[in-house]
Amino acid sequence: MKNINEYSWLPIGSVVKLKKVEKLVMIYGRHQIQSSSKERFDYVSVPYPEGNITEEFNLFFNQNMIEKVVFKGFINDEEIIIQEKLNEKRKESLDNNEV
Protein backbone atom coordinates (compact mmCIF):
# COMPACT_ATOMS: atom_id res chain seq x y z
CA MET A 1 0.00 0.00 0.00
CA LYS A 2 1.17 3.50 -0.82
CA ASN A 3 2.32 5.70 2.06
CA ILE A 4 -0.49 8.17 2.85
CA ASN A 5 2.00 11.05 2.74
CA GLU A 6 2.77 10.19 -0.90
CA TYR A 7 -0.89 10.36 -1.99
CA SER A 8 -1.27 12.95 -4.71
CA TRP A 9 -4.66 14.57 -5.30
CA LEU A 10 -5.65 16.02 -8.65
CA PRO A 11 -6.88 19.62 -8.47
CA ILE A 12 -10.46 20.67 -9.12
CA GLY A 13 -10.94 21.20 -12.86
CA SER A 14 -8.68 18.33 -13.87
CA VAL A 15 -9.92 16.33 -16.85
CA VAL A 16 -9.25 12.60 -16.86
CA LYS A 17 -9.87 9.49 -18.94
CA LEU A 18 -11.13 6.65 -16.75
CA LYS A 19 -10.63 2.94 -17.35
CA LYS A 20 -13.73 1.39 -18.96
CA VAL A 21 -15.41 4.80 -19.44
CA GLU A 22 -15.52 6.30 -22.96
CA LYS A 23 -16.34 9.90 -22.00
CA LEU A 24 -13.79 12.24 -20.46
CA VAL A 25 -14.76 13.61 -17.04
CA MET A 26 -13.88 16.77 -15.11
CA ILE A 27 -13.22 16.56 -11.37
CA TYR A 28 -15.28 18.94 -9.26
CA GLY A 29 -15.02 17.36 -5.80
CA ARG A 30 -12.62 15.26 -3.74
CA HIS A 31 -12.94 12.89 -0.78
CA GLN A 32 -16.67 12.54 -1.45
CA ILE A 33 -19.41 10.32 -0.05
CA GLN A 34 -21.92 9.12 -2.62
CA SER A 35 -25.35 9.69 -1.06
CA SER A 36 -27.02 6.64 -2.62
CA SER A 37 -24.38 4.07 -1.60
CA LYS A 38 -22.83 5.87 1.41
CA GLU A 39 -19.43 4.88 -0.03
CA ARG A 40 -16.45 7.23 0.09
CA PHE A 41 -14.64 8.00 -3.15
CA ASP A 42 -11.52 10.00 -3.97
CA TYR A 43 -13.32 12.08 -6.61
CA VAL A 44 -16.67 13.13 -8.04
CA SER A 45 -16.85 14.32 -11.62
CA VAL A 46 -19.11 15.44 -14.44
CA PRO A 47 -18.99 14.60 -18.14
CA TYR A 48 -16.59 16.75 -20.13
CA PRO A 49 -17.27 19.07 -21.93
CA GLU A 50 -20.97 19.06 -20.98
CA GLY A 51 -20.47 19.73 -17.27
CA ASN A 52 -23.18 19.31 -14.65
CA ILE A 53 -26.35 17.96 -16.25
CA THR A 54 -28.19 16.24 -13.38
CA GLU A 55 -27.18 14.22 -10.33
CA GLU A 56 -27.55 11.00 -12.35
CA PHE A 57 -24.60 12.02 -14.51
CA ASN A 58 -22.19 12.51 -11.59
CA LEU A 59 -19.45 9.90 -11.65
CA PHE A 60 -17.70 8.90 -8.43
CA PHE A 61 -14.32 7.19 -8.73
CA ASN A 62 -11.03 6.43 -7.00
CA GLN A 63 -7.47 7.21 -8.04
CA ASN A 64 -6.85 3.66 -9.28
CA MET A 65 -9.58 4.04 -11.93
CA ILE A 66 -7.70 6.83 -13.75
CA GLU A 67 -6.21 5.71 -17.05
CA LYS A 68 -4.83 9.09 -18.11
CA VAL A 69 -4.73 12.69 -16.90
CA VAL A 70 -5.69 14.80 -19.93
CA PHE A 71 -5.53 18.18 -18.17
CA LYS A 72 -4.31 19.01 -14.67
CA GLY A 73 -6.26 21.76 -12.90
CA PHE A 74 -4.89 24.96 -11.39
CA ILE A 75 -2.47 24.65 -8.45
CA ASN A 76 -1.54 27.52 -6.13
CA ASP A 77 -0.67 27.85 -2.43
CA GLU A 78 -4.31 27.40 -1.40
CA GLU A 79 -4.53 24.18 -3.40
CA ILE A 80 -1.42 22.82 -1.68
CA ILE A 81 -2.98 23.57 1.74
CA ILE A 82 -6.22 21.85 0.69
CA GLN A 83 -4.27 18.80 -0.51
CA GLU A 84 -2.57 18.56 2.89
CA LYS A 85 -6.00 18.69 4.59
CA LEU A 86 -7.33 16.06 2.17
CA ASN A 87 -4.43 13.78 3.10
CA GLU A 88 -5.28 14.24 6.80
CA LYS A 89 -8.94 13.35 6.09
CA ARG A 90 -7.90 10.36 4.00
CA LYS A 91 -5.61 9.13 6.78
CA GLU A 92 -8.48 9.44 9.28
CA SER A 93 -10.70 7.46 6.92
CA LEU A 94 -8.05 4.76 6.56
CA ASP A 95 -7.58 4.62 10.33
CA ASN A 96 -11.35 4.15 10.71
CA ASN A 97 -11.51 1.59 7.85
CA GLU A 98 -13.77 3.92 5.85
CA VAL A 99 -11.80 3.65 2.61
| Number of compact structural domains in the chain | 1
| Cα Rg of the chain (Å, integer) | 13
Length of the chain: 99
Per-residue pLDDT reduced to its tens digit, 84-93: 999 998 888 7
Task: Give buried/exposed letters for 82-92 (b at 16+ CB in 10 A, else e).
Answer: bbeeebeebee
How many other CB atoms are there within 10 angstroms of residue 68's CB atom? 10
Residues 15, 82: Cα–Cα separation, whole Å = 19
Count helices and strands (H / E) in the chain.
Answer: 1, 5
- Residue 47's DSSP bridge partners are 25
Structural domain span for residue 11:
4-95
- Residue 95 scores a pLDDT above 80: no
Residue 56: pLDDT band with limits 50, 70, 90: confident
